[in-house]
Structure 1
Amino acid sequence: MDALDVARWQFGVTTVYHFLFVPLTIGLSVLVAILQTLWHRTGNERYLKLTKFYGKLFLINFAMGVVTGIVQEFQFGMNWSDYSRFVGDIFGAPLAIEALVAFFLESTFIGLWIFGWDRLPKRLHLASIWAAAIGSNLSAYFILAANSFMQNPVGYRINPDTGRAELTDFVAVLTNKVALITFPHTLAGSFLVAGSLVVTVGLWHVMRNRGSADTGAYRFATRFGSWVVLVSAALVAITGDIQGKIMTQVQPMKMAAAEGLYSTESPASFSVLTIGSLDGSRELFAIKIPYLLSYLGTGDPNGTVQGINDLQAQYASQYGAGSYTPIIPVTYWSFRFMIAFGMAAAAIALLVLWSQRKGRTPTNRWLLRAGLVMPVLPLLANSFGWIFTEMGRQPWIVYGEMLTRNGVSRSVSLAEVLTSFTAFTLIYATLAVIEFKLLVRYARAGVPDLTPAPEPDDTDDAERPLAFAY
């Protein structure tokens, strides 16, 4: 074990942990904005209760996402300084815009939304949550544009004197075909997570608090969240199909590794289960669906999909001796776990809708248990999707331009990286417990009572302190 191994583990752990909060923030911000819009348009009090209820869960998650996200950018300079030096001219531009425009837009209007209840005009207050939601989604786009450069470098040149990548076309970076499809795919996955949380909390209250005055609000929440999950699952499948075809074009090794395809095939079969040799060089046993991989990769049932061994020989000839193959079991199974967990969440949403048909109240305990684990499923799907995306690119940190081993900081020792890795892991574990307890506590509390509290006669409104208006 050396500093490179620990630096990779640290970045992987902190990134996956941070991304547990990101999709929920992106999706829930829009869902809360929709609920408030329904209240603004109809005046129905149940929509206001749901807005404040799920808005509180959104704010808890948003705060945790900000805290964990700050660490990410520091790691580029601390553990990956050679990478930052090589690609900083390009990578820094979208990240700077994300911070200066998208994040500031998001955080500013979230503040107005939190403290603006009964202080701002209704339309302006509604606009503030929509502005925050737009900021969250813009933030995702700029970050994905930066990441997409690592997957498919465009709009740059290598300076022969400095050996650095220099930006030549910022529009090309922002319109990278990988970014253009990864963005809607990520958004669909985010709504899958947010919809699942809405379903889980609503279903728990429907089944545990039957006959309460707010049952109608919870029943609407479960139906609303279930439809969000089902529509999102369909969009994930559609965008994922397009993403697979683009991946075959720009990163054929990743597609081959995802399917355990060792030899070039035309037509290529989709692997249901493949067992390879210990050295990852050949297939020992496989269950396959004919023609499917060719269609998924090229859009043609008879299309050619390159295999791992042929690509390894091609890259060794092009870039020099060495292994250019990712860890096949990781890419193979993370790809399948991503699909399986997402489909499981959609199946539970369908069961929830069926259980409430014609005004029925669900009573099956197994449905409640399935509902309680439902938010975890799309979170796992999102996490395995990112693990596949990043691990499938290996051994490149910038595909075709820089190997991961060449991007690590040379001056950082194993002991230093190990110390920071251990510290971050312990801190994140503590934050995870706090986040979980806060979400459970406020989810159990249910929708707020909207009965206005009496105001003291001797207190002027302008002198009242700002308060968390929930």
Structure 2
Amino acid sequence: MDVEILARVQFAFTIAFHYIYPPMSIGLGLLLVIYEGLYLKTGDKKYEKIARFWIKIFALIFGIGVATGIIMEFEFGTNWATYSKYVGDIFGSALAAEGIFAFALESGFLGILIFGWNRVGPKVHFFSALMVFLGSMFSAVWIVVANSWQQTPAGYHIVGEGMNARAEITDFWAMVFNPSSVERLTHVWIGAFLAGAFLVLSVNAWYILKKKHLDIAIKSFKIALVVATLSSLAQLVAGHASADGVAKNQPAKLAALEGHYDTSAKADLYLIGHVNNKTQKVTGIGIPGGLSFLVYGNFTEPIKGLNAFPEADRPKQVNAIFQFYHIMVACGMSMILLTLLGCWFWYRKKLFDKRWLLWIFVWAVLLPQIANQAGWFAAEMGRQPWVVYGLLRTSDALSKSVTANQVMFSLILFLAVYMILFLLFLYLLNKKIQHGPVDYGTKESIDEGSKRDNPILDHQS
């Protein structure tokens, strides 16, 4: 197999696996702040119990996320050396900022969050939860800034020529606030809130169905439902803003997202369909002129199609981009409908009587994960054939000495190691969920609180 394809598959696999965890930790961090804030305000021990339980889950997710993220930095040097040289000044500064301003903040206060019960006061512990949450948010900022710069480069100039060419920062803040960074960051943040909220909804829906830990499950479920509802509605607005940015800055990607080829025609908005790249036709159910309306407010306004771009400068896997994008949208709309339905039955005081709805919430934990993954694939595949849009082609970004056999061998090893990590994560997560929250009101629980709060050493839970 071609070394470029293998290198892309390897990086896609590693980053897709890693991206399971950071969104959950960001979203769960928000809920921890809410739960601890309610405990601080009301003094209700139920909120403390909720916070203690979810801090254990947060620590597990954080640990696996760190372990799976490290490998990607090595891949930049092994498989993508030309890319690393070209964008090192820019990408490196963003990663350095992430480590200094975000990861250090998050990991530093995480120690207090996990081990600080019965050692620091409630206000300090709440402050630690807030700092951990802000650290995870800042971490997303710098990662998204680096990726957004690749989508819409700004604040740079090119030094050198040919193989020695590289991008250097001329305006740091122009690089940070490049044309797509703010809208993409908002989109990512809200997707993370949904990942955390739906995890909490899933676990608590299961507790309610099994009639376990009802004293905290109902409270925790209601708060997570509010966060999920507001976030899913906000994502509709953020997603539209992100699509507007794509229309302005990456018109070839926009055309691929909807399988639009004819540059002089209005663009339809498809609900479901299949793109035939050879015939340049889409078969499916769509709204005539719908995309034109969303972009221009006019159903008949033409939108630049794929045929307006040289074949070498436009995405090739149009149907795959189309499908990933529509999967993301379908998951987003499903989350809106599900959360609004939950709120409606809550308003009518029938929410926890609807066992069928609670079972849907149990499995709905997959929706934000699928949406986040599908959206990332659509964004990255839609940028092709560029690794830095309009500046550096993916085929030119490869390491010149790496071979297909070397990439294949490391890919197989990564598959094996990541599968072990994933099975370990599921085992530990299930073990903690099955054990459930601990009643910390007894003297014994206070004496052993440190051990029970340790997600690594806590073999009893």
Alignment of 1:148-227 (within 5 A): 148-161=148-161, 162-209=164-211, 214-227=213-226
Alignment of 1:215-294 (within 5 A): 215-265=214-264, 267-279=266-278, 282-283=280-281, 285-294=283-292
CA distance in 2, matches of 1:293, 1:139: 33
Change (3 A) 1:155 1:429: same
Q: 1:22: how far off?
A: 1.3
Deviations 1:288-340 (A, max 9, x none): 3133201323455444310011123xxx6xxxxx3532310111000000011
Q: What is the letter of the counterpart of residue 371 of structure 2?
A: A
Q: 1:358: how far off?
A: 4.8
Q: 1:365: how far off?
A: 4.3
CA distance in 2, matches of 1:82, 1:173: 21
Q: 1:5: how far off?
A: 1.1
Cα RMSD after superposing both structures: 2.1
Match in the other structure for 2:93: 93
SS in structure 2 at match of 1:158: strand
Change (3 A) 1:395 1:128: same
Q: What is the letter of the counterpart of residue 396 of structure 1?
A: W
Q: 1:363: how far off?
A: 4.3
Matched, 1:429 2:419: yes
Deviations 1:132-169 (A, max 9, x none): 10000000000000000110111111113431111111
Contact 1:26 1:136 in 2 (8 A): yes
Q: 1:351: how far off?
A: 3.6
Deviations 1:388-431 (A, max 9, x none): 01010011000000110111111111111111111111111111
Match in the other structure for 2:137: 137
Q: What is the letter of the counterpart of residue 420 of structure 2?
A: T
Q: What is the letter of the counterpart of residue 89 of structure 1?
A: D
Match in the other structure for 1:376: 366
SS in structure 2 at match of 1:271: strand
Q: What is the letter of the counterpart of residue 249 of structure 2?
A: V
Q: 1:278: how far off?
A: 4.9
Change (3 A) 1:115 1:297: same
CA distance in 2, matches of 1:243, 1:326: 22
Q: What is the letter of the counterpart of residue 310 of structure 1?
A: A
Contact 2:306 2:314 in 1 (8 A): no
Q: 1:467: how far off?
A: 4.0
Contact 1:39 1:48 in 2 (8 A): yes
CA distance in 1, matches of 2:221, 2:343: 8
Contact 2:259 2:282 in 1 (8 A): no
CA distance in 2, matches of 1:271, 1:422: 37
- The answer to which of 26-35 and 161-170 deviates more is 161-170
Residue 340 of structure 1, aligned match among 313, 319, 330: 330
Q: 1:112: how far off?
A: 1.5
Q: What is the letter of the counterpart of residue 338 of structure 1?
A: M
Matched, 1:30 2:30: yes
Match in the other structure for 1:352: 342
SS in structure 1 at match of 2:180: helix
Could you tell me which runs of 5 or more consecutive residues in structure 2 were left unpaired when the two chains were aligned: 455-461
Change (3 A) 1:125 1:151: same
Matched, 1:75 2:68: no
Contact 1:396 1:404 in 2 (8 A): yes
SS in structure 2 at match of 1:326: coil
Q: What is the letter of the counterpart of residue 386 of structure 2?
A: W
CA distance in 2, matches of 1:433, 1:295: 46
- The answer to which of 338-347 and 378-387 deviates more is 338-347
Deviations 1:444-466 (A, max 9, x none): 2222112233499xxxx9xx996
- The answer to which of 386-395 and 298-307 deviates more is 298-307
Matched, 1:410 2:400: yes
- Tell me the TM-score normalized by structure 1: 0.91
Deviations 1:242-273 (A, max 9, x none): 11111011110100000000102454321334
Contact 2:23 2:195 in 1 (8 A): yes
Match in the other structure for 1:388: 378
- Alignment coverage as a number of residue pairs: 452
Match in the other structure for 1:469: 453
Q: 1:342: how far off?
A: 2.2
Q: 1:469: how far off?
A: 2.8
CA distance in 2, matches of 1:165, 1:389: 22
Match in the other structure for 2:320: 330
Q: What is the letter of the counterpart of residue 307 of structure 1?
A: G
Q: 1:354: how far off?
A: 4.0
Contact 1:207 1:361 in 2 (8 A): no
CA distance in 1, matches of 2:55, 2:449: 21
SS in structure 2 at match of 1:409: coil
Contact 1:274 1:283 in 2 (8 A): no
SS in structure 1 at match of 2:271: strand
CA distance in 1, matches of 2:450, 2:282: 66
Q: What is the letter of the counterpart of residue 73 of structure 2?
A: E
SS in structure 2 at match of 1:177: coil
CA distance in 2, matches of 1:259, 1:120: 54
Alignment of 1:455-466 (within 5 A): none
CA distance in 2, matches of 1:49, 1:465: 12
CA distance in 1, matches of 2:98, 2:293: 36
Match in the other structure for 1:54: 54
Contact 1:260 1:274 in 2 (8 A): no
- Tell me the TM-score normalized by structure 2: 0.93
Q: What is the letter of the counterpart of residue 202 of structure 2?
A: T
CA distance in 1, matches of 2:122, 2:93: 36
CA distance in 2, matches of 1:455, 1:390: 49
Match in the other structure for 2:309: 311
- The answer to which of 338-347 and 34-43 deviates more is 338-347
